[in-house]
Structure 1
Amino acid sequence: MIIAIDGPAASGKGTLAKRLAAHYGLRHLDTGVIYRAVAYALISAGADLKDEAAAVKAAQELDPEIFDDPALKSHQVGSAASVVSAIPRMREVLVEFQRQFAAAPPGAVLDGRDIGTVICPNADVKIFVVADPRVRARRRTLEAQSRGEEADEATILADILARDERDQNRAVAPLRPAKDAYLLDNSDLDIEGGVRAAIDIVEAVRAGRQRV
């Protein structure tokens, strides 16, 4: 079974994806991490974030071992990843990486911004998770503070709005729900409530299609 979880940053989709993967015994991939890893490689090398050749090279040399590096979660790397993700040739390399991950047994839960529309258009279940930008800014602020980082909520909100605008209007794989995706508004749900809502969606789809 392949489950595609899409939605804007800090909407709660990452937590839902991890919990769904654990619940169903599937593998999990936070696809945003691989773009962050490329962005981090460029930043570390002092390269221009719009340098296509450098971005493609970083994607081809991607090391999954760094996916858990706390440095990838910084606000700077997140913003850089949004810029890097607009490079078509680099995206082609990472698209193949994601598809191979999804295709391996026993299946997977992938979360990102174009899983149901581009990466896995034939996913068994597609969920598009949203949340009010102000709620997302608050969540991101608390996350940063929990890591000991200084965080200004107003600045983070402005960045979230700018990032949404950029991602929704980019020429390649813009952020939008797949036509057959289920919308899950996570604004007023805690973690447990969001997970239960997502499981309900998966079970409803499985029951209707009779497929796993």
Structure 2
Amino acid sequence: MIPHGRPVMTEADIAAEAGLELHTWRRRHGTDFRARMSVTNPGERLRLYDATQVRAYLTGQPVPPLPDAGEPHPDDLLSTEEVAAALGTDVSTVRSYASTGYLAPGIELHGRRWWPRRVVQERIDAGDQRHHPELTGAGRRPGDPRNRAPRGRRTEARVQEVAADLATAEAEGRASVTAAELARRYAVSQRTGERLLAAARQHLQQHS
């Protein structure tokens, strides 16, 4: 989660603010930084740090404590995993909901997709409304093939999402996503996961 009103930074952001290449920053400062700073999103692949703490560290000032979490705010940003937990489903279903309009598309930030807490709560409060005209088209029932995003558009969205994952992993020096992970994420075959990974790598090369 990214708490409302509390900007966060990735290690790539921190290196850029320090005026260093990411690998140089990690070599010179990474160990000390991680020993003194805590991530704001424990357990997530993408490590996020409180921007106020980071800037105090970078300028040699005392690092302030993290503010109390307080009450949940409607504009807190929830990760895909947190949305899945709130809706009682899995991450691949959340992505499917977003691509078909059952759930708002969310916000792209730090190479990830996030949803305001209020959007998720509205989805919960509305119950199962997938047959409503404003979401699926007049007269269409849940499961109607016309409710699904066109295959090409869905595949392209996945390719772009995986490409963003690859770019972030490379920037932060983390292990890259694998075809097996993609197969689990999107509930597809291992072969389809391999095709997605290859297409995402090609997408990165074309847009580098």
Give the TM interval when normalised to the shorter protein.
under 0.3
Q: TM-score, normalised by structure 1?
A: 0.24
Q: TM-score, normalised by structure 2?
A: 0.25
* Structure ranking higher in strand proportion: 1
Higher helix proportion: 1
Mark the structure with the bigger radius of gyration.
2
Structure with the bigger RCO (C-alpha within 8 Å, sep 6+) is 1
